[in-house]
Amino acid sequence: MNLVAIDTLHLFPTTLECAKLVEEKYAKKAMWKMPKGITTKDEFIAKYGDCEELDSADFDFVSKVEPFQRALEECEKDILITGRRMDQAAQRIKLDVWEEQKRTLNPMANFSWQDIIDYVDKEFSLWGCPDRDGRAEGVPVNAGHNWAFRCDAPIEATSRHLPDLPWTKVDLGKPFWRCTDAEIKGSPAAPITYVFKSFGDMHTTVPVEPHESERAGRFVRQAKTECGIHTRTTFAGAPHGGSLVDLMVKDAATIQSLTASTVKAIELNERQ
C-alpha cells in the first residue's frame, strides 16, 4: 500500500509538520510529489508565476492535479482510499463509501465534523500521555488548530489571508475544540474570534468563527468549493469519486429572473 502526499509548495508549515508526524506514527513513508520539475516556491513562481496572479484552474492543475496523477501512475494504483466526506461540500452529497466504477474507497464519507473530532479525542484519551518528544500520542493533529485570532470587529473572509491584520494570534496550547468558549475568547472576552478548522493552500485558506463550517475558510476568493484533484482529471477512472450534483436551473422563468438580477458575470475557461 502506498501513501501519497502532495506538496503544492503553498501549504502551511504546520501541515507539513503534521504529515511528518503521520509518517512517524504509522511507520510509513509517503510518496511525496510536487509540481513537476521544481522543489521550492521560488522555483514555482519563476516557472508558473505568483499564485495570486495565476488563474485558479491553472494553479490547481500544476500544483495538485498533475502531481497527483503522476503519483497514481507511478504506484500503479488499483484502489484509492480517500478522506473525503459528504458534509464538506454540496458537490459531495452523493458520495458513496465504495465507488465500484472508480475503485475508490471513501471510509469517512458519512462522517461529520463532530465525528472526526470525537474520533481524534477518543484516540487522545487512550494515548494522551506525552511521548518522549513532548507530543501527545494518538492521531496527529495539525498544530494550527491550536491558534485563536482575537479581534474587536469582524474581518471579511476575503481579507483574512492578508498580513498585519488587527487581531491578536494566541496559542491555546491544544486544539480549539478542546477549549471552552471562555478559553477561546480570552479575558476580557474578544468580541470576535477566529480559528482554523481546515487547512489547504495558504493563499486560499483563512480562519473562521468556531461555529462556522470548516469549508467556510477554504477556497476563499474563488468561485469553487472543491480542490482540483477531486473534480478535474484527464484520464478514465477519476482518482477521487463522488457524484456531482446538478444544480443547473432548468425553469425558463427562473433563468430569466436570475439573469435580470445579475450584477456581475464571469467567463469560465475550458477547465472549469
Domain spans of the chain, in order of start: 4-111+224-260, 133-217
The C-alpha atoms of residue 258 and residue 68 are separated, in whole angstroms, by 38
Count of all residues that appear for the chain in the document:
272
Closest CA to 166 of 154, 187, 151, 156: 151
Closest CA to 71 of 239, 227, 201, 199: 239
The C-alpha atoms of residue 66 and residue 62 are separated, in whole angstroms, by 6
Do residues 105 and 82 make contact, with C-beta atoms less than 8 angstroms apart?
yes
> What is 63-84 written as a DSSP string?
IIIHHHHHHHHHTT-SSEE---
Superfamily of domain 4-111+224-260: HUPs (3.40.50.620)
Grid cell in block for residue 138? 494518538
Residue 59, classified by CB atoms within 10 Å of its CB into exposed (0-12), middle (13-18) or buried (19+), is buried
pLDDT (tens, 9 = 90+) of the chain, 272 residues, equals: 999 999 999 999 999 999 999 999 999 999 999 999 999 999 999 999 999 999 988 999 999 999 999 999 999 999 999 999 988 765 556 789 999 988 999 999 999 999 999 999 998 766 554 443 434 568 999 999 999 999 999 999 999 999 999 999 999 999 999 999 999 999 999 999 999 999 999 999 999 999 998 889 998 988 766 666 755 543 444 444 445 456 788 889 998 898 888 887 776 554 44
CA angle 215/217/220 to nearest 5° reads 105
The C-alpha atoms of residue 12 and residue 251 are separated, in whole angstroms, by 44
